[in-house]
């Protein structure tokens, strides 16, 4: 198991002054080549016409569906950006709004699009993370239905989670943060907060979920003891779900998500309060999972993808994720479940919110206040 990543860990920091220059909307600007530890890359602008692109997914024709956190959905093609109507009422508060978006694994036959967003039954009670599905007809969402709603609602603005991913068996996984109530939610199985949930594609509960059939338990729970998981991805070899989550002041974690596991928050953590005081005196406890790795100081991880593309052979099996705090892409090289190398990519580029590998094998990423970009291998 890899341990704490210290500030003087070996990094390859790339000079990206040219990448900080503003570009015209719709202009596919090509940036200078960038050399990493393994290969040379080119970074290309896909679109700068976005404010806070929280997530995106790829339609079969190559177009992108892009969510804006403030509650807008767009279809982005090579020559235009089109707003999609038919969204539900989006409750935007703090870190919450319109979040992740994914296609059903059998999208070509059933047309289902899934998205996570903040919803509210009453503005006075606040809101919580919800998953809906719908189909796209022209420029409108139709057949819209909520399939999951996290409770309790909260008027706090932090820790919504909001990532969704499908596994190879068609199960849907959703992350829900602790909503800022660390002492009430993550260790309680009676509510949805501070958990990762597993559902059938229609929102029903799988019969083999680890807490199915127990009294006073939210049966959708797959794992618990999480703080704010904002990255999840399917491991291409094992078929397991991996996730990372924000710690407090330090203690961001990378975990393998396995049925029934307790990941410890806030009983154990490698972080401290933002004030500098201790949260707990222990970082390990029997019955609570240790992370694959953790980061001190925090990097504020967001978005996550495993690289499987032949376009980046040196990166195969690596994880790419964004660092909101330090404005770069973070690469994690694995050997089994052991971290053997890490490096910074595109240091100083911006707050990377989502990163995904496209069906044609290229890596795309979204950046707050900048737009959508892709990485082109050049050697």
From the candidates 104, 159, 197, 244, give the one annotated as an active-site residue.
159
Please give the Cα distance from 323 to 347 (Å, whole number). 10
- In Å, how far are 115, 116, 132 from 146, measured between CA atoms? 10, 10, 4
Q: Note if the bond before 297 is cis, omega within 30 degrees.
A: yes
Q: Is 330 a catalytic residue?
A: no
Handedness of CA 47, 52, 57, 63 (dihedral sign): negative
CA neighbor of 256 nearest in space, from 277, 234, 279: 234
Please give the Cα distance from 351 to 114 (Å, whole number). 24
State the CB neighbour count (10 A cutoff) for residue 350.
21
Bridge partners of residue 133, in order along the sequence: 114, 145
- Which residues are catalytically annotated? 159
């Amino acid at each position: 198991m890899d341990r704490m990543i210290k500030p003087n860990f070996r990094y390859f920091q790339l000079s990206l002054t040219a990448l900080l220059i503003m570009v015209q909307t719709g202009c596919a600007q090509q940036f200078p080549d960038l050399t990493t530890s393994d290969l040379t890359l080119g970074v290309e602008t896909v679109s700068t016409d976005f404010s806070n692109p929280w997530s995106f997914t790829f339609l079969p024709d190559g177009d992108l569906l892009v969510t804006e956190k403030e509650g807008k959905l767009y279809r982005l093609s090579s020559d235009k950006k089109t707003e999609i109507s038919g969204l539900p009422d989006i409750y935007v508060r703090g870190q919450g709004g319109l979040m992740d978006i994914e296609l059903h694994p059998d999208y070509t036959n059933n047309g289902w699009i899934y998205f996570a967003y903040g919803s509210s039954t009453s503005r006075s009670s606040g809101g919580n993370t919800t998953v809906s599905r719908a189909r796209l007809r022209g420029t409108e969402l139709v057949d819209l239905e909520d399939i999951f709603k996290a409770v309790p609602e909260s008027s706090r603005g932090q820790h919504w989670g909001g990532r969704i991913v499908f596994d190879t068996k068609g199960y849907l996984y959703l992350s829900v943060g602790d909503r800022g109530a660390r002492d009430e939610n993550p260790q309680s199985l009676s509510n949805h907060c501070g958990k990762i949930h597993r559902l059938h594609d229609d929102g029903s509960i799988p019969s083999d979920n680890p807490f199915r059939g127990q009294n006073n338990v939210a049966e959708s729970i797959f794992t618990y003891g999480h703080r704010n998981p904002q990255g999840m991805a399917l491991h291409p070899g094992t078929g397991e779900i991996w996730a990372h989550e924000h710690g407090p002041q330090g203690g961001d974690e990378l975990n393998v998500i396995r049925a029934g596991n307790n990941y410890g928050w806030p009983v154990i953590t490698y972080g401290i309060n933002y004030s500098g005081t201790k949260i707990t005196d222990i970082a390990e406890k029997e019955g609570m999972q240790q992370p694959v790795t953790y980061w001190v100081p925090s990097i504020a991880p967001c978005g996550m993808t495993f690289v499987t593309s032949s376009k980046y052979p040196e990166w195969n099996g690596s994880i790419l994720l964004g660092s909101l705090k330090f404005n770069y892409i973070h690469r994690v090289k694995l050997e089994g479940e052991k971290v053997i190398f890490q490096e910074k990519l595109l240091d100083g580029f911006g707050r990377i919110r989502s990163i995904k590998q496209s069906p044609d094998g290229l890596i795309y990423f979204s950046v707050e206040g900048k737009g959508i970009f892709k990485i082109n291998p050049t050697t």
